[in-house]
Structure 1
């Protein structure tokens, strides 16, 4: 079974985690330790950023 390829780069995910204030959890315990609410907020923010970038172009 193949692994899914991530859509967001690691740098992007780290920046979002810092912005949403849970990067300390990621740094000390890894991505598997974040709450599902934090993951959802990260995706929501990524979508907002993508919409903003599309509106500019």
Structure 2
């Protein structure tokens, strides 16, 4: 069975974690230690960034 590739690059996830304030936790303990709320915040922000890039509305 092949391993599924992630949609977000590692770099992008790290940048989101930094922006959202929990990168230190990821760096120390790994992605498996983030909470469901933190993961949800990452997805929400990634969608927001994607929508902004489609509309050209960079803020």
CA distance in 1, matches of 2:39, 2:14: 12
The list of structure 1 runs, each at least 4 consecutive aligned residues, that deviate by more than 6 angstroms after superposition, is: none
The aligned length equals 57
- Residue in structure 2 matched with residue 28 of structure 1 by the alignment: 28
Give the aligned CA root-mean-square deviation in angstroms: 1.3
Matched residues in 2 for 1:25 and 1:42: separation? 14
What 5-or-longer segments of structure 2 have no aligned partner? Answer: none
